[in-house]
């Protein structure tokens, strides 16, 4: 499991890439990926292209990111999820809270 983050040159977009298992073991690393920036970006992208597994604690971490980003007014996109991860997001109705592609 690894979590990497990259902010755009203008500081407006933060991309977080989760590789491997997205579970409670990645909780602190995931939080550090977005809390360490002094200026809060305008938009967030969570790239799950290399995520092999996601559990309920990962769903909770996505909700914490959404709250950090501004709640209902936030712009958080979840991209590149495989079919298993996408199914978990759909069952959890996360498509109502996040832009999932």
pLDDT tens sequence across 15-73: 999 999 999 999 999 999 999 877 889 999 999 999 999 999 999 999 999 999 999 99
Superfamily of domain 2-100: STAS domain (3.30.750.24)
Residue 99: CB atoms within 10 A of its CB come to 12
Q: Where are the domains of the chain?
A: 2-100
Q: Note the helical H segments in 1-101.
A: 27-35, 56-69, 83-91
For 45, the token pair is 């992208």
pTM: 0.94
């Amino acid at each position: 499991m690894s979590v990497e983050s990259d902010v755009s040159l203008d500081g407006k977009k933060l991309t977080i890439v989760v590789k491997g298992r997205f579970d409670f073991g990645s909780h602190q690393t995931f939080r550090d990926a977005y809390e360490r920036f002094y200026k809060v970006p305008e938009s967030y992208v969570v790239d799950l292209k290399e995520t092999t597994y996601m559990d309920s604690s990962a769903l909770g971490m996505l909700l914490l990111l959404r709250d950090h980003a501004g709640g209902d007014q936030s712009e958080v996109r979840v991209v590149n999820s495989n079919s298993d991860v996408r199914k978990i997001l759909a069952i959890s109705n996360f498509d109502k809270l996040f832009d999932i592609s």
